[in-house]
Amino acid sequence: MSDSWIVGINPVEGALSNDASRVREVLVEQGQRNARVQELAARAKTLNIPVHHRSREELDRVSGEARHQGVVARYEAPPMGSENDIERLLAEAGQGALVLVLDGVTDPHNLGACLRSAAAAGATMVIVPKDRAVGLTPVVRRASAGGADRVPLIAATNLARALRTLKDAGVWITGLAGDTDTSVYSIDMRGPVALVLGSEGEGMRRLTRETCDFVAQIPMPGVMESLNVSVATGIVLFEALRQRSEKR
Q: In what order do the strands lie in the sheet with 2-7?
A: 2-7, 71-77, 23-29, 51-54
177-207 pLDDT, tens per residue?
988 889 999 999 999 999 999 886 778 888 9
* Separation between Cα atoms, residue 113 and residue 147, nearest integer Å: 8
Q: What pLDDT score was predicted for residue 3?
A: 62
In one-letter notation, the amino acid at residue 217 is Q
| Confidence bin at 107 (pLDDT 50/70/90) | confident
* Separation between Cα atoms, residue 133 and residue 181, nearest integer Å: 30
> CA geometry: angle at 104 spanning 99 and 108, to 5°?
90
Give the residue ranges of the annotated binding site: 198, 218, 227
Give the residue ranges of the annotated binding site for S-adenosyl-L-methionine: 198, 218, 227
Report the CATH fold assignment for 2-77: 60s Ribosomal Protein L30; Chain: A; (3.30.1330)
In this predicted structure, the answer to whether residue 31 has a pLDDT above a threshold of 70 is yes
The domain locations on the chain are: 2-77, 83-245
Q: Is this structure's pTM higher than 0.75?
A: yes
What's 200's DSSP letter? T
Query: Is 83-245 in CATH node 3.40.190.10?
Result: no
